[in-house]
Structure 1
Amino acid sequence: MRRAIITGGHSGLGAACAARLRADGIEVVTFDVSPDADFIVDVTDTRAVDAAVAAAGPVDILVNSAGIVGPNKPLWETSPDEWTRTFDVNVHGTFRVIRALVPTMVERGWGRIVNIASMAGKDGNPNLSAYSASKAAVIGMTKSLGKELAKTGVLVNAIAPAVIDTPMNATTAPDVLQHITSLIPMGRVGRAEEVAALIAWLTSAECSFSTGAVYDISGGRATY
């Protein structure tokens, strides 16, 4: 049986992904700040991440879903602390978990890593500069790591969702949410289970000739 770690696995996309992978027969271990997680982990804490990865044991799949929206304001009104916090969760947190897990995946000769980026990382969303920049960084990291691991059996891809109906968007200002939803040609937000279906394929053996790629799931918003 394959084993997976899902960060942010107790809400939103992480929870939907955990449910889907379990339904597919995969053993799922959740990392989350929620007290109900298998491992209570703040991905901004390197020691906590390393300890949880060591305690969890070998896994075949990693889904990096832990993330925050960050400040809803123009870049010039964003404080350095707000900017740093957004990057520490969305970028550095993803880096910390990958760094801790990749060596054992390489040693075992098989692994699937999916990083959850965003359409914001490709297009940039107004009044979400920190979030958009952090997700662009996740895309760049995914592309580089995919090349680094291309011959190891460990595949690394990212997904770039448009607006998805998750609790995280409850913290997005209504005017910002309305604007980014209006950019979707299908005229609706996505559902978490639709994203989970894409992740299920990317973490499976059927995905065998794709790495360092970014998969849009945007209701037609994506233009490149």
Structure 2
Amino acid sequence: MPTRVVIPELLDHLPADDPEARRSRRDLRRINFFMGNERWVLATARRFPEAAALGVTELGAGDGDLTRALARLHPQTTVTALDLAPPPPSLPSNVVWNQGDLFRSPSPPQGGILIANLFLHHFEGDALRELGRLAEGFRVLIFCEPLRARLPHLLGYAAHPFINRVTRHDMHVSIDAGFSANELPRLMDLSEKRWMIGEHSTWRGALRVLGCRA
């Protein structure tokens, strides 16, 4: 298994209104659809209505597509979205958008379900452990991250003719920063005494982690 390598992605340093950034976000929506990430997150969140009633939080909400879907899935629940970007337009009334650095928030988020879709691979070391401590304020964890393996790279190369240069670069950087089996819970220091962790990977390049309070 190749060593995990975390380096900056191009999209993270482009202005939100840059044409290449807009094109790359469209590419990412198609990649997410191909990987089935959001469908899995929503199907999994639907299984825990009691936890959802305590609030749903999404880390790295991006363009807000998954946030909107979560708000529709749980219309009576407050869905909190955290991202460095400003809130996108037309958010449902039950969405609270917190713009800013998660690690500098004076009050860490808490609730029933914590969700991260293609977000945690941006971090390593102390930052991942801090995210693990943040997870202690929730009952259910739903994480979907890149699988660090050869096949996802091969699938990425096959997609090169259909995506822009930013996405071509960032896709492979994301895979190299992704996780192998059983790696993410260990790096986040999620205690087996406090969490029951289930994990599986897909041939489309996703590593899916579900954590429930033990």
Could you state the TM-score of these two structures normalised by the residue count of structure 1?
0.43
User: Which of the pair has the greater relative contact order for Cα pairs under 8 Å at 6+ separation?
Assistant: 2
